[in-house]
Structures are given as C-alpha cells and as structure tokens.
C-alpha cells in the first residue's frame, strides 16, 4: 500500500497531544497521507492550559524545511504556530525557494479566550509576508478582524472581511464562522469572485482542543491528495465535525482533544475528475454502442424521459432525453452543455414532483447509490401510471464485473485478461455489482410489473427474452443487462 499524498506541518509542538503538530500528524494519518513536521516552538501544555513556550532557533526551523524538501518533498504544507518575526521570514524564504504552491496558513493569532498570541511585529510579518505566498488562509472571526481591520458581527461582515483578506495576497480565504451566532456553524470560502458556504451542526461539548489545527491539517491533507480546494474544504469540514462529535470524554481535566481516528468523507471521482471522464468516455463511445442500443430499445418516449445519474450527458443526449438528475455538479455542467436540463440531486431523493415522466432511466446508477431500493421507489414515484423504468447494469454474475473487481484489487488492469479501453479504475471504486435476480427483486418490491430484459456482450437465455446484440469486438467476456418494468 502507498500513501496518497505527502503533507508537511510547520507548527508548534503540544506536549498534551491535542493540538499543534501532534494533531496535524494524526489528521494526516487519518487521510492516509505521509506526514512530516517542522517544529517552530515547544510548548509545555495540557488540556487545562499552557505553562511555558520555547521558540526554536530560526536557523533550525530552516534546516528542518531544507532536509524535508531536499529529500522527500511535499504535495502540500500548512503553518500553525509561528510565534516570531524571524521564524516567519525563514518560512517565507523557504516557501519561495522550494516553490511550495499549496500552502495553508492557519494564522494562530488569537486564543479562544480572545487573548493575542503574537507580538505586533510577528502579526505584521504574517500579514505582509506570509499571506502573499499562501494558497489558503483559515482565520477565525477574531483573527479575520485583526487581518482585515474591521469588526465582524454577521455573515455580511464576514464576506467583506474575507474580500479584504483575499486582497492581501492569499489565493483563497476560508473564514471560520464558529464564533458567529446561529444554529449552525457556517464557514465561508472566498476565491476572489464567489463565496461558497459550508454548514455544519454545532456540537455541544467542552472537548474542542485543537479544532483549528485539525481543520487546516485536514484541508492540507486533501490538497496533498490532489483534491480541488472546494472538495478539500468540504471533506475537512465533515471530518472536523465528526472529530468533535466523537471527542473522547476521558482525556484530561480541561478542554479535551478531538477524536482523530475517523475515515474521511470520500469525494466521488465523478466530481473530482469530471473532465477526465468526459474525455475518456467521448473517445471510447464506440465501446458502449451496444449498451446505447439496448437502452434505446426500451425508450418509447425520450422527450418525456429523465435520466437519473445522467453523468456527462453523452448517452442521454444521443438517446434524445431532455431531463437529468446528477449529484456531481461538475458532471452536471458537462451534461448541460449537451442540452440536458439537469437538476442537482441523488437517486434516493429525486427533485421532481410525483407522476411526471413516461420513462425513468437508471443507467448503471444502482451500482453506485447507497440505497438501491429507495432509488427504485423514487423512480416509481415520479412515473406516470403505465410509465416505464429502464435499469441498465453490469451483472455481478458476469465475467465483465468480475474482471473489474480483480482490477480494483490489483490496482490496475491486466492487458492480457482485460479488453482494450477498460473503464478507468478511479470511476469503478465504490461500486456494488448487482445480480440480475437482485435487480429484478428491487423492481418487483417497488411495485413494477411486466419485467422485460435485453442483454448484450454475452448470452444468458435465463434472463433474456428479446433480441441479443452482438458484442463489440474484444468484449466477449462480459455482460450488460437492461431491464424494463411498468408502473401499473
């Protein structure tokens, strides 16, 4: 097994293990990233407070960065406690020297109590020097007030503050709203043009030691794995919420630490790499020609049909389908360019009213959804009486699905056993292949009748009562089934 990224933390050491580089390294590990650390300060602290602080020599801080960058390098880095001007200047020099592009700056300037943690000259060095080399800065409300020079009383003030901070040089600003009033904790991300909001529940707990460190570390880990800034923040926000919610109650006598041993939220490859999928799918559409023909066989009225999980819209546009539902916003944009009217939503909660469509197409979507039965019931709900559901899927009992399972386990496709132009593995992860019997039962339990089957790629007479398509050359070892059911 390999790590999925290399992440560096440049921060202070917390002897209590709840914050600083200790929290950062625990977070990196949870994200399956190789974590490295540069210690800027050594603190003597526990859950009840800080007793003493000793800053590391700027030369030693610089040497630590050199040793890491000359050998391992890093995919992303973050700064935490950088308590004096000289250390900040060394970090700036090294970031420029090694061209560390994805630098997350957690400006540890103000404690939860509101006490200032940096001297005035260090604050100035951070704002004037560190912000311009930062990919992202993650201030809380108090820190944002210092950097922007304005009071923040609500979300509109937060927007203006983030705009001012972004103007100081940071590419992105994530202003944390934990100290703003409201039922939910709302963070806002500003990219220079648009604001994106990230909401989470407020968790009633005293065990919040290291939240800022952990959030910025989680974002750094996501960036080191190649996530976009929006996905990295989304995953980090989910991680920190669950880390707080599951914080242990038996560590220390004061503000306890978070629980770091949490599996991070998985971002769909269809969101992260939509353009890659579209490019590959377009180049290899001949491979799927037989699948297109089998779906077309059952689409009696494509003008009043909807494709759930429409993807990039290539199939739907060729079938004449005008409506689609897609959870991945980047994929939805591609489908819209092909003329599909797309609503953002998941198969289990389709954003359409009851009894609207003549046909609902679930093109391979049941292999990806969390609750296939609920997805089928949603299709039933939005169908008119005598409307049809059309479900296409790779059958679990077929060698085609087994080939993908083997490829997933091996981490690659074997060209000796796999056909040419295989489906990219990153889009296969997380799939659950269903047997034809399972899909049939899902449809029957939802109330569908008169099930009919078409199959391509191999012949399974047991489940086929219509014409058999000839498989594309090289795809003899797989099977692809389309089932139609009618709503009474």
Q: Where are the domains of the chain?
A: 6-267, 271-486
Nearest to 9 by CA among 146, 102, 140, 124: 102
Higher pLDDT, 423 or 374: 374
53 SS3 class: strand
Secondary-structure class of domain 271-486 per CATH: alpha beta
Average pLDDT, the chain: 86
Q: Across the strands, what pairs with 201?
A: 184
Helix (H) or strand (E) holding 455: strand 449-456
Catalytic residue chosen out of the listed positions 9, 94, 213, 387: 213
CA distance 153 to 377: 46
- Reply yes or no on whether 210 is catalytic: yes
The reply to whether domains 6-267 and 271-486 share a CATH topology is: no
- Reply yes or no on whether 178 is catalytic: no
φ, ψ for residue 187, nearest 5 deg: -100, 150
Q: Distance between the two ends of the chain, CA-based, in angstroms?
A: 51
Q: For residue 14, what pLDDT band results from cuts at 50, 70 and 90? A: very high
Q: For residue 372, what pLDDT band results from cuts at 50, 70 and 90? A: very high
Catalytic residue chosen out of the listed positions 17, 35, 210, 485: 210
Q: For residue 460, what pLDDT band results from cuts at 50, 70 and 90? A: very low
Taking residues 194-203, what's their average pLDDT? 85
Catalytic residue chosen out of the listed positions 17, 20, 129, 212: 212
Taking residues 452-458, what's their average pLDDT? 71
- Reply yes or no on whether 176 is catalytic: yes
The CATH number of 6-267, from 3.30.465.10, 3.40.1080.10, 3.40.1190.20, 3.40.50.150, is: 3.40.1190.20
Structure tokens at 472: 């594309």
- Reply yes or no on whether 212 is catalytic: yes
Catalytic residue chosen out of the listed positions 211, 359, 436, 456: 211
Q: What is the pLDDT of residue 269?
A: 74
- Percent helix, strand, coil in the chain, to 5, is 40, 25, 40
For 109-122, how does the pLDDT look when each residue is reduced to its tens digit (9 = 90+)? Answer: 865 555 566 777 88
38 SS3 class: strand
Q: What is the pTM of this model?
A: 0.71
> Is the distance from CB of 350 to CB of 382 less than 8 angstroms?
yes
71 SS3 class: helix
Catalytic residue chosen out of the listed positions 9, 74, 79, 208: 208
């Amino acid at each position: 097994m390999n790590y999925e990224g290399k992440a560096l933390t440049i921060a202070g050491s917390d002897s209590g293990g709840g914050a600083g580089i200790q929290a950062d390294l625990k977070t990196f590990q949870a994200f399956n990233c190789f974590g490295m650390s540069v210690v800027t300060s050594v603190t003597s602290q526990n859950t009840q407070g800080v007793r003493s602080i000793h800053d590391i020599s700027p030369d030693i801080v610089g040497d630590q960065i050199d040793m890491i960058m000359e050998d391992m390098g890093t995919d992303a880095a973050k700064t935490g406690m950088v308590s004096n001007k000289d250390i900040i200047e060394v970090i700036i020099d090294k970031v420029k020297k090694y061209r560390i592009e994805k630098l997350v700056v957690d400006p540890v300037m103000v404690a939860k109590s509101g006490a200032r943690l940096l001297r005035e000259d260090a604050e100035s060095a951070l704002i004037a020097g560190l912000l311009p080399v930062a990919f992202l800065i993650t201030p809380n409300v108090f820190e944002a007030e210092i950097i922007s020079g304005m009071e923040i009383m609500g979300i509109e003030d937060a927007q203006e503050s983030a705009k001012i901070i972004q103007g100081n040089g940071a590419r992105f600003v994530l202003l944390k709203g934990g100290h703003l009033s409201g039922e939910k904790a709302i963070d806002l991300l500003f990219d220079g043009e648009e604001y994106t909001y990230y909401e989470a529940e407020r968790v009633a707990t005293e065990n919040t030691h290291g939240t800022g460190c952990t959030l910025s570390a989680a974002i750094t880990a996501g960036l080191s794995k190649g996530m976009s800034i929006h996905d990295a923040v989304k995953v980090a926000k989910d991680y920190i919420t669950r880390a707080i919610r599951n914080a242990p109650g038996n560590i220390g006598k004061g503000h306890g630490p978070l629980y770091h041993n949490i599996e991070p939220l998985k971002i769909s490859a269809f969101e992260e790499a939509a353009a890659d999928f579209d490019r590959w799918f377009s180049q290899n559409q001949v491979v799927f020609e037989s699948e297109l023909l089998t779906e077309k066989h059952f689409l009696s009225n494509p003008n009043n049909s909807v494709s759930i999980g429409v993807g990039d819209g290539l199939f739907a546009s060729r079938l004449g389908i005008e409506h689609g539902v897609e959870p991945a916003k980047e994929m939805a944009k591609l489908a819209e360019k092909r003329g599909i009217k797309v609503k953002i939503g998941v198969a289990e909660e389709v954003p359409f009213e009851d009894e609207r469509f003549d046909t609902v197409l679930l093109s391979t979507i049941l292999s990806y959804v969390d609750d296939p039965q609920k997805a089928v019931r949603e299709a039933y709900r939005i169908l008119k009486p005598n409307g049809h559901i059309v479900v296409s899927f790779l059958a679990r009992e077929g060698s085609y699905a087994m080939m993908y399972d083997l490829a997933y386990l091996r981490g690659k496709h074997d060209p000796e056993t796999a056909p040419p132009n295989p489906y990219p593995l990153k889009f296969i992860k997380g799939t659950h292949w269903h047997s034809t019997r399972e899909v049939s039962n899902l449809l029957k339990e939802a109330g569908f009748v008169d099930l009919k089957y078409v199959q391509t790629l191999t012949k399974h007479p047991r489940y086929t009562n219509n014409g058999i398509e000839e498989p594309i050359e090289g795809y003899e070892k797989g099977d692809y089934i389309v089932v139609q059911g009618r709503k009474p």
